[in-house]
Amino acid sequence: MRDPDDLIARAGVRGDPDHDQHFLVDDRVLDRLPTYLESEAQRASRDASGSDPLDEIDAETSHVLEIGGGTGALTDRLLAVADEVTVVERDRVLAAFLREEFREEIDAGRLTVIEGDALEVELPDFSASVSNLPYGVSSEITFRLLPEKRPLVLMFQQEFAERMVAEPGTSEYGRLSVSTQHYAEPELVETIPKEAFSPPPAVQSAVVRLEPRDPDYAVDDEDFFLRFVKAMFTQRRKTIRNAIRNTTHITNLGAPDAVVEAADDELLQKRADAMTPSEFAELATLALAVGEPEGD
Ligand SMILES: C[S@@+](CC[C@H](N)C(=O)[O-])C[C@H]1O[C@@H](n2cnc3c(N)ncnc32)[C@H](O)[C@@H]1O
């Protein structure tokens, strides 16, 4: 495997925190990241057999997408486990370096470097993604990837990761938890100290594994459901009864009182942070049916 410090030296760059550039320099962390594509049970059985993680990975690695390639330390590990890798990098100098450093892999058709903004470029049909995300746009990128319903292993600021995996009734639980868990089952698999990066970011990081799944509830209109959840959490300290009445500028409900009249009283007395995703779905479905949403 290429040495991460050598890659930075060869690229002749210093990560610029203002452009979300924090390069991973801890080999052990880099080696572990692709293995999180496996489930917990698969990882445990491999650990028990003592096999080399990068040799034995048992996951869908036909085409792995990496957002934010940097100097290529993670790209190198992904090439070791995947048939094909596509890396997106916005920085012109870094994209040129990746094309030079990985010329052989590119010529062999195993690596594609896309220079551009991950929020704008056309993404390939990938089988999984493993990425150390640019934190400034991590939410937007994640919600671009989640609807594709592929396994994702993504690095975030720790506090963000904790909100993604949070359960109802906790202070971290919010709109981010419900919308993440609508698409996938998230698992916080490892926290990463600042020293694993060069330059170190301001806060600790964490790796989240996101296994795509269909939710255990049905929604007729996904956009309305997500907008309804957003609306309820803008009124976190209010009861759902008041939140429904106070947020018509977000939900576009023409008849919020009709929703309140038709809804189960027990739900109406709750606050958003005590509502399970399926309870939100139940209310959103009712709101669509009787709340006269405008423009839907
Ligand atoms: C946290 S670094 C990770 C670099 C490398 N993968 C590693 O682990 O060492 C994030 C990378 O994303 C790039 N980047 C920042 N914003 C981006 C965007 N909107 N689209 C694509 N790449 C972006 C940065 O230039 C940087 O190289």
pLDDT tens per residue, range 123-169: 999 999 999 999 999 999 999 999 999 999 999 999 999 999 999 99
Answer yes or no: is 11 within a domain.
Answer: yes
Q: Is 24 annotated as contributing to ligand binding?
A: yes
Answer yes or no: is 217 within a domain.
Answer: no
pLDDT tens per residue, range 62-83: 999 999 999 999 999 999 999 9
Question: Is the distance from the beta carbon of residue 182 to the nearest atom of ligand 1 less than 6 Å?
Answer: no
Statement to judge: residues 189 and 43 lie in one domain:
yes
Residue 236: which CATH number? 1.10.8
* pLDDT of residue 113 exceeding 90: yes
Please tell me the predicted confidence (pLDDT) of residue 58: 77
Question: Is the distance from the beta carbon of residue 70 to the nearest atom of ligand 1 less than 6 Å?
Answer: yes
pLDDT tens per residue, range 262-295: 999 999 999 999 999 999 999 999 999 999 998 7
Residue nearest to atom 14 of ligand 1 (CA): 68
Q: Is 63 annotated as contributing to ligand binding?
A: no
Q: Is 22 annotated as contributing to ligand binding?
A: yes
Q: Which atom of ligand 1 is nearest to the CA of 141?
A: 19
Question: Is the distance from the beta carbon of residue 256 to the nearest atom of ligand 1 less than 6 Å?
Answer: no
Please tell me the predicted confidence (pLDDT) of residue 284: 97
Statement to judge: residues 141 and 261 lie in one domain:
no
Q: Is 15 annotated as contributing to ligand binding?
A: no
Question: Is the distance from the beta carbon of residue 72 to the nearest atom of ligand 1 less than 6 Å?
Answer: no
Question: Is the distance from the beta carbon of residue 74 to the nearest atom of ligand 1 less than 6 Å?
Answer: yes
43 or 182, greater pLDDT: 182
Mean pLDDT, the chain, rounded, equals 95
Statement to judge: residues 152 and 78 lie in one domain:
yes
Q: What is the mean pLDDT of residues 184-210?
A: 97
pTM for the structure as a whole: 0.95
Q: What is the DSSP string of the chain?
A: ---HHHHHHHHT----GGGT--EE--HHHHHHHHHTTS-HHHHHHHHHHT--HHHH--S--SEEEEE--TTSHHHHHHHHH-SEEEEEE--HHHHHHHHHHTHHHHHTTSEEEEES-TTTSPPP--SEEEEE--GGGHHHHHHHHGGG---EEEEEEHHHHHHHHPPTTSTT-SHHHHHHHHHEEEEEEEEE-GGGEESPPSS-EEEEEEEE---SS--S-HHHHHHHHHHHHTTTTSBHHHHHHH-HHHH-BS-HHHHHHHS-HHHHTSBGGG--HHHHHHHHHHHHHHS-BTT-
Question: Is the distance from the beta carbon of residue 126 to the nearest atom of ligand 1 less than 6 Å?
Answer: no
Domain with 242 in it: 222-290
